[in-house]
Amino acid sequence: MSPSLPSFLRRRLLLHEARRALLGGEPEAALERLADPCLALSDEALRLRERVVDVVCREAARAAAEGRQEEAERLLARAEREDPERARQWRRRLDGESGPASEDERSRSDVRSSARLAMGELLAQMRRESADAPPSAPAPLPAAAPANAVLPGPTPGRRPLRFHLAVDDAGDYIAIGGDEVVIGHRSAERADLPILGDIDAVHARILRSESFHGGPAWMIQPAQEHVVRVEGAEVSEGGAALIDGALVELSPQVSLRFRLPDPGSCSALLEFQGGVECEGANRVLLFAQGPAGRVRTGRRTDRHMVVRSEASELHLELNGDRLRCVSPAGLRRSGSDAPAPEVEVELPPVAPLSITVGERVAGRPPFGITLRAATVRGSGEWR
């Protein structure tokens, strides 16, 4: 790489190359890019490094489950150079599962079964522990799609839950709850994300999948023979992984940035680029169900919705067709004077509903959110 590049361009190029390496299934190459001294003070590089280390540790777990102990040790040692505490967490659990056992339990099939169980427990534990972790805590989400990820097939007639969410200080969002979201032109009934732009009626779909070694992952899959690019690389028919910060190009005029800002949440954020909007909003929240998909507002940059208000800590959790809202400052629904620590809303709301966070401070506008139903769309088929 040319040393004459300005530092900001060098940082951008290194981050781009690291993401490409991770998407290409080469996490160790990604770590080499991220080790460059010019990225030492980059928060974006730190978040990406945490995710890459997590992928390396999962590769080590897979190697251990398959009996490739030398490879597992090599990968854990590589992860330990980047994040010693994270690597030790995995090593302790793996060592605990490989302790004394009966002769029958030493068979290859039982060893694999035990390792799989341990990794499943560890992934669940890490997601729980990281929910309240600071930005520097290890990220529980995978940076790239694992080799054994399950890509769901088309689901005709099944539509995700959709609603509008307006957040004081942060703006408007389209919120979607579901594991499959179709992106298309505004004229298409099938589009869950209808966009007025140079894209086809049904252009692509974003899917959330689960795998044992990789945990939860988001992917994008083009429809028919439409062109979709992730970080400049054309996506094949089988789809491509989406990692934090990845640039997705649907056409020369329509692109979006994929974000996983909160290490403690499986929910994703889409940020449309260049003035592109979806039903009046330029950002989309892709909710994962339950506590693992909790979305938080706040002043910190590792929040899905960053706001300036001091009394702005609000947690949103989607459970089926109900949205649970929680804040230590207390919440008030529109039309109610009594504050409560949490409020539950049935979705989609039949009428616009406002929720205020905390007490109103003299001289300052109240902070809150407003929910309303999104446009009802048809039930066309994925093609």
Average pLDDT of 349-369?
83
DSSP per-residue string spanning 161-195: EEEEEEETTTEEEEEEESSEEEEEETT-TT-SEEE
How far does Cα 7 stand from its chain's mean position?
29
Q: Can you say whether the dihedral through the CA atoms of 263, 264, 269, 271 is positive or negative?
A: negative
- Could you give the percent of the chain with pLDDT greater than 90? 32
Contact 14, 36 (CB under 8 A): yes
Query: Of 62, 52, 61, 60, which is closest to residue 83 (Cα–Cα)?
Result: 52
**pLDDT tens sequence across 262-318:** 988 999 999 999 889 898 899 999 999 999 899 999 888 889 998 877 666 899 999
Count of all residues that appear for the chain in the document:
383
Distance CA 120, CA 243 (A): 21
Distance CA 28, CA 44 (A): 18
Contact 160, 181 (CB under 8 A): yes
**pLDDT tens sequence across 123-152:** 444 444 444 444 433 333 333 344 333 344
For residues 322 and 188, which has the higher predicted lDDT (pLDDT)? 322
Read off the amino acid at residue 353: L
Contact 51, 242 (CB under 8 A): no
- Edge-to-edge strands, sheet with 215-222: 193-195, 180-185, 204-211, 215-222, 240-242
The strand pairing partners of 234, in sequence order, are 229
pLDDT of residue 210: 66
Instruction: Give the pair of three-digit tokens for residue 339.
Output: 């504050």
Paired sense of beta strands 193-195 and 180-185, if any:
parallel
pTM: 0.63
Lowest mean pLDDT among 163-172, 235-244, 328-337: 328-337
Per-domain residue ranges for the chain? 7-132, 161-373
For residues 226 and 365, which has the higher predicted lDDT (pLDDT)? 226
Read off the amino acid at residue 127: R
**pLDDT tens sequence across 278-292:** 988 999 999 999 998
Task: Give the SS3 label for residue 272.
Answer: strand
Domain 161-373 has CATH 1.25.40.340: no
